[in-house]
Structure 1
């Protein structure tokens, strides 16, 4: 218990927004107390989310800048796979950049060597060595898609990273127009997609929306809980004009009405067309009969004339 209290007090915020009592908004946290890689991961999973994941190289350089003045080695959430030489982060993603200080084919756990002068500071080490830790805080939803906009509501969605799928969490959604309202949406375990419906909005009005991921963790220092919050993702959405919606609905209804009249009109057209065809056919047949009779009569008359002569 005493060790855990010391670790909590030694936790240093690296990237932090809106720090408040009982609530921390952060991405990466440094714990300046040496321990093995496996103990480090257990600590991060209990008090934060997991060991630090730097899946993008820009995140790697952000952490380099934050640790530039520290003369220490920090465990990362990066480990060599047992059956290959490939390195993967603890969320399952592969290492996509090459910033190794030097190649070491024996160590299976990776550290960030902050004391080195060069930019390449990744180093493979034995997992039972004791080093300080980079812990991972909750991830903000990225990106957020606007799936539907009505005159009084919007439907938003975003992909939940594999990292956050492994962690029970919820989302804090603040919507501001003239005033601000905040709602909480719990995450359903195992879902790769999060959908929310924000209702009771005003027609033809722009709203400012912020979405943050929240994780509640036990705080051994105070005996209560501490809430970690991700950096918020912000967007603006404008609801549809209700009058415009009515006009669109009228056009659709008129179109449907015309479509409903199409079948009977087609039948009438076919009947009229068939009637005209029959009439033309009868008139044509009558003309042929008259022509045949006239020819026959002419032939008889010629024969009679020849007999008399």
Structure 2
């Protein structure tokens, strides 16, 4: 049930068993204050976080724009183009799907977010060797989780791994709670857009609260010591099987009791109807007598 792969997950298992994971950090976007060229900025983000920030949707763009509104800096993003005139792509391989350019005619091939601009449009092409601050991104938890099958003592969970997270070794903390909680550790095997796991040894007909959070282990940018970077978890409620048979049996017994409770009045009605039917079938002696006399 605990498929640990590699020294990293074995080390994490020891931390969890000793209760020493208080130092883990939940993070989305991190500002790096040291100016550096785009390539160096990406290497720094990959070493200490996951990569330069990928803002695949306009919602993510506006979230970052709002978070950096008070800053007067230029932040490198994980967005570039191979040549002038070619399409802009995120480091995850996705194409830029919206237009929030302050100016897209500049000859630069690496994109920055110009936090100091007052307009909503803050993307700007820049020369990649210019020194600017950077916006790094931490791990990303699954956006949604599918429960494909539920048994009496097990359940199967699956989710799509974003193209951003497919690029880096990472794992998932899966916390299962009823009256108590248990945290399971799963590593991403790599090379797949789908993560699929089985959780077993559960109690039948029981509702569980499940939380899944992506994490990576990185050296701290200040101390160099390894730390756990973890995203906010995705949560769901799941109920195991094994209780439907009891419900069916209970419904059957209730129907039998209902029929049994109707038996006495039905027996009385039967005798009443039988008596009436017998009376109707008896010959009418008065009519027979009249017919005999007239003859």
TM-score by length of 1: 0.71
1:103 offset after TM fit, Å? 2.2
TM alignment of 1:187-226, pairs within 5 A: 187-219=188-220, 221-226=222-227
Match of 1:160 in 2: 161
For the residues of structure 2 that align with 1:189 and 1:212, how far apart are their CA atoms? 17
Partner of 1:12: none
CA distance 1:66–1:181, shift in 2 (3 Å) = same
* Aligned length in residues: 229
Partner residue, 2:94? 93
- Distance in 2, Cα, partners of 1:111 & 1:185: 35
Distance 2:104 2:223 in 1: 43
Q: Distance in 2 between matches of 1:243 and 1:86?
A: 55
Matches for 1:260-271 after TM superposition, within 5 Å: none
C-alpha deviation, 1:247, in angstroms = 6.8
CA contact (8 A) 2:140 2:231 kept: yes
Go from structure 1 to structure 2 and tell me whether the alpha carbon gap of 1:102 and 1:183 turns closer, same or farther (over 3 Å shift).
same
Superposed displacement of residue 121, structure 1: 0.4
Partner SS for 2:86: coil
SS at match of 1:143: coil
Deviation at 1:166, TM superposition (A): 1.3
In 2, Cα distance between equivalents of 1:136 and 1:220: 14
Between the aligned partners of 1:221 and 1:30, the Cα distance in structure 2 is 14
- Alpha-carbon distance, 1:47 to partner: 0.4
Query: 1:33-92: CA deviations, max 9, x gaps?
Result: 111101100100100000000000000000011101101110000001337421000000
CA-atom RMSD, angstroms?
A: 1.8
**Higher relative contact order at CA 8 Å, sep ≥6: structure 1 or structure 2?**
2
- Segments of 5+ residues of structure 2 without an aligned counterpart are 1-20, 250-295
**Cα 1:106/1:175, change in 2 over 3 Å:** same
Change (3 A) 1:185 1:56: same
Alignment-derived partner of residue 119 in structure 1:
120
User: Is contact 2:84-2:107 (8 Å) kept?
Assistant: no
2:190 equivalent to 1:186 = no
Structure 2 CA distance, aligned partners of 1:243 and 1:45? 49
Q: Distance in 1 between matches of 2:153 and 2:174?
A: 17
Alignment of 1:47-126 (within 5 A): 47-82=48-83, 84-126=85-127
Runs of 4+ aligned residues of structure 1 deviating over 6 Å after TM superposition are: 245-248
Q: Relative to structure 1, is the Cα distance of residues 23 and 176 closer, same or farther in structure 2, using a 3 angstrom cutoff?
A: same
Q: C-alpha distance in 2, partners of 1:113/1:128?
A: 16
> Quick one: distance in 2 between partners of 1:115 and 1:27?
21
Cα 1:134–1:177 shift into 2, 3 Å? same
CA distance in 2, matches of 1:220, 1:112: 23
Closer/same/farther in 2, CA of residues 126 and 45 from structure 1, 3 Å limit: same
Q: Secondary structure at the match of 1:181?
A: strand
SS of residue in 1 equivalent to 2:60: helix
2:272 maps to none
CA distance in 2, matches of 1:77, 1:126: 14
Q: Aligned-pair distance for 1:120?
A: 0.5
